[in-house]
Structure 1
Amino acid sequence: MSGTLDPRVVHEAAEWFVQLQSPEAGGADHEACARWRASHADHEAAWQKALYIAQRFGQLPSSLGMPALGRSRRVARREVLKSLLLLAGAAPLGWGGYQAATAQGWLADLRTARGERRRFELADGSSLELNSASAVDLDFSAECRRLVLRQGEMLLHAVTEARPLVVRSADGCMRAQGGRFNVRQVGGVTRVAVLDGVLEVRPGGEADAALQVHAGQQLSFERGGARAITPLAAQVDAWTRGLLVADGMRLADFAAELQRYRAGFVSCADAVAELRLSGAFQLANTTPVLDSLAQVLPVRVVYRTRYWASIQPA
């Protein structure tokens, strides 16, 4: 893949993106787009950029796939394309960060795809479970056992031994001799939940002051500091059993959680974002979960394509 994408390729990706949002798009259109993406690495990179922009900016203009009343489809299509291409030019730094994070995931020692969960046995006898779209690097030496969480979430059951265990995320450093810890790095925040043992947390890095997090406690932290230590959330490791457990969760947060396990995007309209949801939901297939929302909340789920779902007021 070239270092800089040809503007013509970016424009083609935008064309495909808009075309597939149309309610008239059929299986042949999706297959043709798939062939275009597979024909060159730059095509796939441009397509991923279009998807990233849609995610980064929430929702694209409301006319996407839905021509404005009283206007021709051609005019509406031209407006949407213009908006998408302007966004593509407006987010080069964000896109670069996305590319770097994606490359780290691809090159990591241990990794999972979106929707995949895997368990690994480590050289010291410890076990590691990775959640959807997660990546970890390992560096075990005679003096120290080091793990770097590049992205996503992991549950580590570390055997106790003389060598210290050090876990790093983008937001800081965690240290222990052994124990059972859930570490999640999402949205610029790292959350650690201690199920067994004691974890020494240093937000920012190893030179910063340490916080002691004991079994039954959890802590969220960023590079700028840590929040208060709180009691362990119920079912914090439910994902290892293929479950998403919600206890009065905001619907917008629930949609964001589902998206971690689903190909494509799940958006939530502001009008229903504050609705609350409780229950245990199977993650193996998120479409039935989305479809069930209308049975318990005053919402409806609109599928623009099989990969783009929007939760709207009923």
Structure 2
Amino acid sequence: MRLGRAAQAGAATPSHAVLEQAARWYACLRDGNASVRQQAAWRAWVSAADSHATAWQYVEDISRAFEPVRSLPNPRDIADQLRAVDDRMRARRRVLAGVALLGSGGLIGALCWRQAWLPGEVMALAADIRTAKGEQRRVLLDDGTTLWLNTASAVDIRFTAQERRIVLLTGEAFVETARDERPLLVQTRQGSMRALGTRFNVLSDGAATRLAVYGGAVEIRTAATDASRIVEAGQQTSFTAHGIGQDDAADGARLAWTQGSLLADNLPLRRFAQELGRYRKGHLGVADSVADLVVYGSFPAGDSDRALQMIASALPVRIEQTLPWWTTIEARR
């Protein structure tokens, strides 16, 4: 049973318990050996509530995400096509969903329409520099600028005689600028950031860009409205293509990822799991009964299994893996 996203419009976000039920049903059915009675029970479960249908769709989406993008025909050519279309649409202020008009027998268009993550992920295949999920990388650029890339990130480097431009296609980057007469800009879908003798961190999650400045200053300019603001050292903010949020104090612990670590200081387990999930393939969930437990310490960002073991040894929790790509943190029995 495949449920379109439109059918889920307005459905409530499934609870942890419902998501776990959906994952167990998927584990039961995935090998094709489920009995007629089991299949009937599954259909009844999915039909019993909107939250069940939404949870089942989520599990299916996660499963499809594990079908490698590289299995598509000529993935690098497709990445180049997607990037060219995306550039044209940005210039016209058109929505990204229009990428669904791409050809390749309708396959790429259909995938782009159904999977919001696909354009950035596919374009990342053709990026100048990229990292896999769970990987961090440090790169020295031609001008002497140092660039760190966090998990599942990708950038294009566009240096000309007039400017130095880093295009963050997806993920997170930390930039330490080098002296040069040419301006240095970091560009995301939401706008551009001009470095003013700077050390700064940029995180793009698709809907917004988060900027934290640790040295010098950075001038933001939004893509759609051309609104601008200078963010000083020690401050952070987020912005969309249409506006810039309020400044607040930059989180120094955020930079631990550049050293391969995740720092937690009085952090609720649910929030810690959300951050750790960025470094781990598949679903990482937390049972409501333990979600508010407090996490302290330094954890290896590049080894999420070890980080989970550390959590299990420090807190009254256990790690459950219903499927190879479905992991949950539960109360210890």
TM-score by length of 1: 0.71
Correspondences of 1:159-238 after superposition (within 5 Å):
159-186=178-205, 188-202=207-221, 204-205=222-223, 208-238=226-256
| Separation in 2, partners of 1:155, 1:195 | 10
Q: Is the 8 A contact 1:173 1:206 kept in 2?
A: no
Deviates more, 1:123-132 or 1:171-180: 171-180
Return the match for 1:65 from 24, 46, 50: 24
Q: Does 1:279 align with 2:238?
A: no
**Gaps (5+ residues) in structure 1?**
1-9, 15-55
Secondary structure of the structure 1 residue equivalent to 2:21: coil
Q: Is the 8 A contact 1:174 1:200 kept in 2?
A: yes
Deviation at 1:74, TM superposition (A): 4.2
What's the CA shift string for 1:67-95, capped at 9, x where partnerless? 7xxx9544345567995479869x97763
Percent of paired sites with the same residue: 37
| Separation in 1, partners of 2:262, 2:163 | 34
When the two chains are superposed, the root-mean-square deviation of aligned CA atoms in Å is 3.2
| Separation in 1, partners of 2:289, 2:202 | 32
Correspondences of 1:216-295 after superposition (within 5 Å):
216-295=234-313
Give the structure 2 partner of residue 75 of structure 1: 40
1:196 and 1:259, CA in 2 relative to 1: closer, same or farther beyond 3 A? same
Correspondences of 1:12-23 after superposition (within 5 Å):
none
Q: Which amino acid aligns with 1:147?
A: I
Q: Which amino acid aligns with 1:235?
A: A
Deviation at 1:120, TM superposition (A): 1.6
| Separation in 2, partners of 1:291, 1:210 | 45
TM-score by length of 2: 0.67
Give the structure 2 partner of residue 299 of structure 1: 317
**Gaps (5+ residues) in structure 2?**
4-12, 29-35, 48-52, 62-109
Correspondences of 1:84-233 after superposition (within 5 Å):
84=56, 95-186=114-205, 188-202=207-221, 204-205=222-223, 208-233=226-251
Q: Which amino acid aligns with 2:23?
A: L
What's the CA shift string for 1:242-291, capped at 9, x where partnerless? 10011222322211211111122211233433333222111232112213
1:129 and 1:63, CA in 2 relative to 1: closer, same or farther beyond 3 A? closer
Secondary structure of the structure 1 residue equivalent to 2:117: helix
Q: Is the 8 A contact 1:64 1:80 kept in 2?
A: no
Q: Is the 8 A contact 2:177 2:195 kept in 1?
A: no
| Separation in 2, partners of 1:127, 1:179 | 11
- What is the number of residues matched between the two proteins? 257
| Separation in 2, partners of 1:133, 1:268 | 22
Correspondences of 1:17-56 after superposition (within 5 Å):
none
